[in-house]
Chain A
Amino acid sequence: GAVVSQHPSRVICKSGTSVKIECRSLDFQATTMFWYRQFPKQSLMLMATSNEGSKATYEQGVEKDKFLINHASLTLSTLTVTSAHPEDSSFYICSARDPTAGNTIYFGEGSWLTVV
């Protein structure tokens, strides 16, 4: 299947700082990417849909000023967690829709964020 890569895979940051996570589609161009978060022993929760060249669409209850999403190119979307707090510690996962594969959605490896 298509390859979606996230970076970093693990990051530790201090409370109050911001951290950026990158999501890249390596072998296809993705006009649409998605960001999820997952707490231990829970399912994935969709945070937002990232659209290339336009503003992201956030799910209800997700603070757009806290979770900044930028989709500046067809192969890169970034999620910035601003003013991070310990409760933002979570597993963040991105995915991308591959238009060359019947719009199948492929996922990255995930990024573990720990805020101390």
Chain B
Amino acid sequence: DAKTTQPPSMDCAEGRAANLPCNHSTISGNEYVYWYRQIHSQGPQYIIHGLKNNETNEMASLIITEDRKSSTLILPHATLRDTAVYYCIALSIQGAQKLVFGQGTRLTINP
């Protein structure tokens, strides 16, 4: 599975949109982009995933560039409870399909 690169940390003000970037320049055509987050001392929570089209659900929006080499997770109105480590993972829909976690982005929402 392709390697992803994320900034180690970000800050965002409460109520504003949090935009979390992820680079996956070596992503292949059959790899999805998955986003998870982990709030302190809990198991990771699935947020959203996409292949090439932009996706939106009740939690977030995922914007994938046309060349699929990068993506952005958008939390439209961040709250204090969105403070967590966010993981971007490229995952093939074929084969072993194991989620391998990098270091993620530690997002802090400030009041």
Contact = CB atoms under 8 A, between A and B. Distances in A.
Nearest to B59: A1
A103 B92 CA distance: 11
A95 interface: yes
Contacts, number: 51
Interface string A42-58: 01111001000000000
Interface of B: 34, 36, 38, 41-46, 49, 87, 93, 96-104
11 contacts: A1-B46, A43-B87, A43-B101, A43-B103, A46-B98, A46-B100, A46-B101, A93-B44, A104-B34, A109-B43, A112-B41
Interface in A10-57: 32, 34, 36, 43-46, 49
Interface of A is mostly: strand
Interface of B is mostly: loop
Interface range on chain A: under 10, 10 to 19, 20 to 34, or 35 or more? 20 to 34
5 smallest CB-CB distances across A and B, nearest first, come from A107-B43, A44-B101, A110-B43, A107-B44, A43-B101
